[in-house]
């Protein structure tokens, strides 16, 4: 009797040696968290695989979407699992699998086999050859194409027998929670959600920090950032957004500092506030969506000055990307359409017509001496922030 299961493949975890079990346990925990609302499952670890066995009814479409969003998984397949290690039974189940799971428009195929149970009388090449012949007997409209098939039918003979089609490739990476915590400076633009996703993919638990400037920025602008945080949170369970009211600080900088230095000084204070929040939540680093030369605050000179505002590491995963590459990832993770909604953010307020692109740290610090009340204002911004539970 066959049952429907999901075979989950993982990648880099194989390289972790004696610590592999830590990464495996975290991955299984993350899978359980991500799919818990799609149904009930038994989850079993096997060599090179995680087996997800639905118990009762489940939402197949939502399950597969959630699996595609779990960092640490490189692919999964819906499979038929059964115990009878008999070639005739395998052939019968293979034809059933094709009837029930393969589009009728797909007419070319090949068979791939892996025999871990060496007691099975046919080796892997023989399984491929004999099963392909059986399928052609049952389905004469089909043809074999080993170079460019419209689908591949896989057979694995382990403790159980598994029949499945092509593996659904997912985002890979490392399980969330295995590489520390970081705070993402999340704006309403295209870049920062992508940056947060990329660092999260490396197993880093990420929270977000958003700088708001009411009444100059609207509730719709805030909601846009919340919606982006929800998109990122689909990949990072437990994502939180720290909303900081930045209005008074921006107005204070505008009043006290040269207008062409406003952007870089504003950015330095954002970093300073973010570092304070990161320390409070026990994060070890900051993340930004900066890319060299994209805007005035992202020149080499500006980035060097910005870095001086904090002591902790600042990760910039997009630093060498061009805009088209960033947009491609934004579309892949479904943040692009939200990011391009035409609502203002605080970074677009009070911007000089000709901002400095080669600021000098000594000169910037000299200008900031006029901000005599800034320590109190930073304390207030940190202490009065709103924490929004996203997922």
Asked if residues 373 and 252 have their Cβ atoms less than 8 Å apart, the reply is: yes
**Sites in the chain below the pLDDT cut of 70:** 296, 345-350, 352, 391
Please say whether the dihedral angle defined by the alpha carbons of residues 343, 347, 352 and 355, taken in this order, is positive or negative: negative
Q: At which residue do the structure tokens 């397949």 appear?
A: 77
Nearest to 223 by CA among 324, 345, 354: 345
Pairing of strands 161-164, 73-82: antiparallel
Buried b / exposed e over 257-293, threshold 16 CB at 10 Å, is beebbbbbbbbbbbbbbbbbbbeeeebebbbbbbbee
Asked if residues 285 and 182 have their Cβ atoms less than 8 Å apart, the reply is: yes
Q: What is the pLDDT of residue 349?
A: 63
Q: What is the pLDDT of residue 198?
A: 98
Q: What is the pLDDT of residue 88?
A: 95
Please say whether the dihedral angle defined by the alpha carbons of residues 290, 292, 295 and 296, taken in this order, is positive or negative: positive
Nearest to 270 by CA among 210, 349, 206: 210
Q: What is the pLDDT of residues 48-83, one digit of tens each?
A: 789 999 999 999 999 999 999 999 999 999 999 999
Q: What is the pLDDT of residue 266?
A: 94
Helix/strand/coil for 286:
strand
Phi, psi of 145 (to 5 degrees): -140, 100
The count of other CB atoms within 10 Å of the CB of residue 119 is 7
- SS3 percent helix, strand, coil of the chain, rounded to 5, is 45, 25, 35
Q: What is the pLDDT of residue 325?
A: 96
What are the residues whose beta carbons fall under 8 Å from the beta carbon of 220, sequence distance 6 or more? 343
């Amino acid at each position: 009797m066959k049952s429907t299961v999901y075979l989950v493949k993982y990648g880099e975890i194989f390289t972790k040696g004696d610590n592999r079990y830590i990464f495996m346990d975290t991955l299984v925990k993350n899978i359980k968290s991500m799919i818990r609302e799609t149904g009930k499952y038994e989850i079993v670890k096997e060599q090179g695989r995680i087996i997800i066995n639905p118990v009762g009814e489940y939402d197949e479409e939502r399950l597969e979407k959630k699996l595609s969003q779990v960092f640490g998984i490189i692919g999964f397949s819906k499979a038929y699992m059964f115990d009878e290690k008999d070639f005739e039974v395998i052939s019968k189940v293979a034809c059933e699998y094709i009837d029930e799971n393969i589009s009728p428009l797909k007419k070319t195929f090949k068979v791939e086999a892996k025999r871990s149970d060496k007691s099975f009388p046919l080796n892997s090449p023989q399984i491929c050859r004999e099963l392909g012949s059986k399928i052609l007997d049952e389905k004469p409209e089909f043809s074999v194409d080993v170079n460019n098939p419209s689908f591949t039918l896989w057979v694995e003979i382990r403790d159980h027998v598994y029949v499945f089609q092509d593996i659904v490739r997912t985002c890979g990476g490392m399980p969330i929670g295995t590489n520390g915590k970081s705070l993402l400076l999340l704006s309403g633009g295209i870049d920062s959600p992508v940056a947060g996703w990329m660092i999260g993919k490396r197993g880093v638990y990420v929270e977000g920090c958003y700088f708001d400037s009411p009444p100059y920025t609207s509730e719709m602008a805030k909601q846009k950032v919340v919606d982006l945080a929800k998109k990122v949170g689909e990949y990072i369970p437990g994502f939180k957004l720290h909303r900081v009211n930045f209005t008074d600080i921006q107005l204070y900088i505008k009043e006290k500092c040269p207008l062409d230095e406003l952007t870089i000084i504003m950015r330095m204070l954002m970093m300073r506030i973010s570092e304070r929040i990161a320390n409070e939540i026990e994060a070890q680093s900051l993340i930004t969506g900066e890319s060299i030369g994209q805007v005035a605050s992202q020149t080499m000179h500006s980035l060097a000055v910005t870095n001086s505002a904090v002591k902790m590491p600042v990760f910039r995963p997009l630093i060498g990307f061009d805009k088209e590459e960033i947009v491609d990832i934004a579309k892949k993770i479904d943040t692009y359409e939200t990011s391009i909604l035409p609502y203002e953010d605080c970074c677009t307020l009070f911007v000089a017509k000709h901002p400095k692109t080669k600021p000098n740290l000594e000169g910037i610090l000299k200008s900031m001496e006029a901000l005599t009340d800034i320590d109190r204002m930073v304390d207030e911004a940190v202490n009065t922030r709103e924490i929004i539970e996203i997922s």
